[in-house]
Amino acid sequence: MVMSRAEVDQLQPDALPLLETYRNGEHSALLAEVDQRSRSGPLPPDVLGLAAASLVALERYEEAATAAREAAGRAPRKAWLYHVLSRAELGRGDRTRALEAAEAACRLLPGHPDYLATLAACRRENGDAAAAAATARQALLSAPDHPGALNQLGLALAASGDEAAALEQFTRAMEAAPQEPEAYLNAAALHRKAGRVPEARRVLKDALRHIPGLLEAEEQLAGTVGSSPLVHGLLRHLIHLSRLTMTGWLIVAFIYYLFFRLLEFLWKYFPVLLPVSRVLLLVAAAWLLGGALCGRLLRLALRRG
């Protein structure tokens, strides 16, 4: 959650429709609406904060941090604005500022499990795994099945070297929120780091059963095939090719057309290049279309293998 129920009740009325848009995951639509409103004058802090939250969701962390910082500066008693700011700063890699913002959110609204989970993440990223574990456990006192806190506790325990306890927390997080990917990916990464490839595959396949379109799980599965980085890179490329949308294929077709026109220009002045150019065009077409087909077959094989 981006904010507590009490904070929702304190939102300005004109921000409530934006909150609903955020909850529906329509982040681009929210940002378009905010941009439209900005033409009429300065934006209220609540509107700026929701825009920052959507920017975080879209991984546009620099913009998110700027918007959240301005919103928090204009409404310094709103804990959720500092929570958004901490996530933005963490995303952009400023661990110190992220920790400061997370601590401010928890001071303003003590005991909120979402804010404590973010604070645990900030403390772990700052190298204090013991404090991160303690903070995550504090969050679990009021919300025993909070998936974010369970994940953060697992990551903190893993950073402390207690893999068995970490995996236990990741399993609890999977059971609490089967549709959220973080616990599956964390558990699989821990298994892979320890060389337990079959266990990693099992967790990743379980993730894909619950979240069929999870790209990160498919990429991690590709990383369990052999030990060559070159092979892993090739398999990930095939997976990405097979997942291209219609827009993606239109972009590829346009680039292919530009490539053809470039070769056409070369043929005009260097006819000797014609046979080679034809081979290049055929190879490029075969790679794109064949690669997409191979990628689909690869994804099927990884899920079933």
Q: How many residues comprise the chain?
A: 305
The pLDDT confidence band at residue 25, using thresholds 50, 70 and 90, is very high
pLDDT at 2: 78
Least confident among 1-10, 44-53, 105-114: 1-10
pLDDT at 265: 77
pLDDT at 269: 75
pLDDT at 227: 81
Average pLDDT, the chain: 92
This prediction has a pTM of 0.84
3-state SS track over 232-257? HHHHHHHHHHHCCCHHHHHHHHHHHH
Residue type, 201: R
State which of 94-98, 224-228, 260-264, 267-271 shows the largest mean pLDDT. Answer: 94-98
Tokens standing for residue 50 = 């929701």
Percentage of the chain lying above the pLDDT 70 cut:
99
Q: Give whole-number Cα distances, 138 to 86, 146, 147, in Å.
A: 19, 11, 14
Distance CA(230)–CA(241), nearest Å, equals 17
pLDDT at 267: 75
Indicate whether 199 pLDDT > 70.
yes
pLDDT at 1: 67
Asked if 204 and 220 count as a contact pair (C-beta separation under 8 A), the reply is yes
Encode pLDDT of 171-196 as tens digits.
Answer: 999 999 999 999 999 999 999 999 99
Percentage of the chain lying above the pLDDT 90 cut:
73
Higher per-residue pLDDT: 142 or 274: 142
